[in-house]
Amino acid sequence: MGFTDKDLQQLSEKGISENKVRDQIQTFKEGVPFVDLDKAAVPGDGISKFSKEQELGFVAKFDKSKGGKSLLKFVPASGAASRMFKALFNFLDTYDPKNESLQSYLERTEDKEIKVFSEGLEEFPFFKMIRDRIAGQAKSKDEEVYLLVKEMLSEQNLNYGFYPKGLLPFHNYGEYLATPFEEHLKEASLYAKGKDTAQLHFTISEQHGKMFNRQFDTVKERVSHATATSFNVGYSFQKSSTDTIAVDLDNGLFRNADGSLLFRPGGHGALIENLNDVDSDLIFIKNIDNVVVSQFLKEVADSKKVLAGLLLEVQSKAFEYAKMLDGNNIEGKQLSEAKAFMEEELNVRFPENFEGNSIGDQIEILKDKVNRPIRICGMVKNEGEPGGGPFWIRDRNGNVSLQIIESAQIDMDNNKQVEILKSSTHFNPVDVVCGVKNYKGEKYNLLNFVDPKQGFITEKTKDGKELKALELPGLWNGAMAYWNTIFVEVPLITFNPVKTVNDLLKPAHQFK
């Protein structure tokens, strides 16, 4: 497959090598293999569950040790709010209050989302503010609902569908409305603060940069005063070099109307590059829309401290063994202890023939296994929410490891795999604490621990033509495939995402 000079110039401008594109095209041709689930990770077998006393010990460990550590909260925040308002956009297109009552519309369409929205209208954080904006315009209650939605979404008015989700009003505190961005600042003050300063890094869309800066200028004094914390906030964008090539259904290059190659964003897996660019001893990862009102903050923060305290405890042991292995003066008993630690506390699995290797080879295998970034991932009990889950999987070489797997990675035509999926008891809320340095304080190159075979191929259309697109391995999926992984059960209160506008009616988003 040949590239024109113009193609090569386009690749150069995006910072993408020709070989990278050829590799991606080969992936389209070969397809992305399904993962091979070995079994679900459950409490006692892949998911740790701690007593209250143990949790308090981890919190104390973190609080005592954090003074000597650099801390960072990393928040993927590039998502636009358009999906959140999908049902409301449809309502605007299909309902005319002048010709139909809201009740007859609901009966005709059986639109459950609009029914919940209209019945809970006064509980939404933005209700009073928007009602004041449209005061006197509505001739009936039904028309008021319509005009409220129109005021929220139309481009000439609030245009919430264009907003990044992180800058929408999520919580009503009476005196002010709080965005997820502001709530993340408050939360960070409880566990991502050094002496007086909390460090946060948001990955955002370039077009929203000024909006985030304005929001920070608006809220920083209020939040700093309330939390006795200064905030150091950084931003980054998804890199153009992480975009992936699009192909037609025959795996040929898909071109735009002007003849240029079509590239598409690589999905949240591209953010492993952004994560690789930040430098901190402990990094907390949490999605932008997963926030709570202030009365639940302490419980959420304590849960984060449990994960961080566990990370510090396990990491200190891993560092001792890594240092010992580097010295090459390790004895047989110590070798067995190092292996047992990795199996029991880091969930590392070794090949059956490990003991058949020479002592020198065993040391090299142990070195490889222990010298990896560590992630502690909170897992919540599955109550029917969509999202990835924790599993033991077997890779192409027969190696078993703990992974967060999405349903799209599983062969739904394989009954055995589907049964394993159904036996899963927990799912991934994206609640991660990362240790990304070795015992010498050197930062790992996180790009070395990605499994490129855990991406996704999807079918899309452009200008009426069908195409295939490639998503990179997800940030907490294949992008962290070769990390050492520990799953921990965390309380349900730690998971409160706002996927649709009606999620704002849930207790975690209602300030009392």
For residue 235, CA distances in Å to 78, 202, 223, 269 come to 10, 5, 19, 17
Do 230 and 316 contact (CB within 8 A), yes or no?
no
Query: What's residue 110's pLDDT?
Result: 94
Query: What's residue 343's pLDDT?
Result: 95
What is the average pLDDT across 457-470?
92
CB proximity list for 108: less than 8 A, separation 6 or greater: 100
Instruction: Tell me if 121 is assigned to some domain.
Output: yes
Query: What's residue 333's pLDDT?
Result: 86
Query: What's residue 24's pLDDT?
Result: 93
Block residue for tokens 């993408």: 16
**449 torsion bin: left (phi>0), alpha (psi -120 to 50), beta (else):** alpha
pLDDT-derived band at 463, boundaries 50, 70, 90: confident
pLDDT of 303 > 60? The answer is yes
Residue 400's DSSP bridge partners are 394
Instruction: Tell me if 403 is assigned to some domain.
Output: no
Total count of residues recorded for the chain: 512
Query: What's residue 396's pLDDT?
Result: 84
Full domain range(s) for residue 103: 82-153
Query: What's residue 398's pLDDT?
Result: 86
What is the average pLDDT across 488-504?
96
pLDDT, the chain, mean? 94
Instruction: Tell me if 454 is assigned to some domain.
Output: no
What number of other Cβ atoms are within 10 A of residue 55's Cβ?
A: 19
pLDDT of 414 > 90? The answer is yes
What are the structure tokens assigned to 483, written together? 């990390």
Instruction: Tell me if 50 is assigned to some domain.
Output: no
For residue 252, CA distances in Å to 32, 45, 472 come to 17, 45, 19
Instruction: Tell me if 146 is assigned to some domain.
Output: yes
Picking from 230, 225, 212, 103, the residue whose alpha carbon sits closest to that of residue 165 is: 212
Residue 46's DSSP bridge partners are 42
pLDDT-derived band at 70, boundaries 50, 70, 90: very high
Q: Global pTM?
A: 0.95
Burial group, residue 416, by CB count within 10 angstroms (0-12, 13-18, 19+): exposed
Query: What's residue 144's pLDDT?
Result: 93
If you average pLDDT over each of 256-265, 320-329, 439-448, which comes out highest? 439-448
Question: For 117-165, how does the pLDDT look when each residue is reduced to its tens digit (9 = 90+)?
Answer: 999 999 999 999 999 999 989 889 999 999 999 999 999 999 999 899 9
Residue 378's DSSP bridge partners are 488
pLDDT of 384 > 80? The answer is no
Picking from 99, 188, 113, 199, the residue whose alpha carbon sits closest to that of residue 149 is: 113
Instruction: Tell me if 144 is assigned to some domain.
Output: yes
pLDDT of 84 > 70? The answer is yes
Query: What's residue 353's pLDDT?
Result: 87
What is the average pLDDT across 377-401?
86
Query: What's residue 81's pLDDT?
Result: 87
pLDDT of 80 > 90? The answer is no
pLDDT of 359 > 90? The answer is no
* Residue percentage of the chain with pLDDT more than 90: 85
Please state the domain count of the chain.
1
Question: For 221-234, how does the pLDDT look when each residue is reduced to its tens digit (9 = 90+)?
Answer: 999 999 999 999 99
Do 142 and 97 contact (CB within 8 A), yes or no?
yes
Do 92 and 105 contact (CB within 8 A), yes or no?
no
Instruction: Tell me if 145 is assigned to some domain.
Output: yes
Query: What's residue 386's pLDDT?
Result: 57
Query: What's residue 387's pLDDT?
Result: 64
> DSSP letters along 312-381, please?
HHHHHHHHHHHHHHHHT---HHHHHHHHHHHHHHS-----TTGGGS-HHHHHHHHHHHHSS-EEEEEEEE
What is the average pLDDT across 16-40?
93
Range in 201-210, 311-320, 325-334, 492-501 with the lowest mean pLDDT: 325-334
Do 90 and 336 contact (CB within 8 A), yes or no?
no
Do 488 and 307 contact (CB within 8 A), yes or no?
yes
Instruction: Tell me if 136 is assigned to some domain.
Output: yes
Query: What's residue 385's pLDDT?
Result: 62
**Measured distance CA(474)–CA(279) in Å, rounded:** 21
